[in-house]
Amino acid sequence: MKLIFAIVSHDDSQRVIRELTHGGFQVTKLATTGGFLMAGNATLIAGVQDNKVDEALELIRKSSRSRRQTIPAMNDPATTGAFASAPIEVTVGGATVFVLDVDRFEKI
């Protein structure tokens, strides 16, 4: 058995959960916040049989998309002065996924 942690954009989370649920996977959602953009994320947790990991990853891949977004530059006036620089374009969305081995599983 494997434990999948998928960190997805809040905007994509309901779509990812719906796809995984329709695929027969049970999912737990934790509301989280990313460190770089301080944007809302969802960390999804799913226990998956070894032979179903690739199927779950494909569902996550197809239902969470990365996109470009323009954000204000993050200046620290103490180090960069009082002038703000031009906004920057960053890639947001997609999924960061961790797959871990499960040594033991009990449903009590």
Note the pLDDT tens digit of each residue in 20-56: 999 999 999 998 887 655 667 899 999 999 999 999 9
Contacts of 108 (CB under 8 A, 6+ apart): none
pTM: 0.76
Phi and psi at 106, nearest 5°, equal -135, 140
| Two structure tokens written together for 7 | 């960190």
Give tens-digit pLDDT for 58-85. 999 999 977 776 766 665 555 555 556 6
Q: Does domain 2-70+88-101 have CATH number 2.170.190.11?
A: no
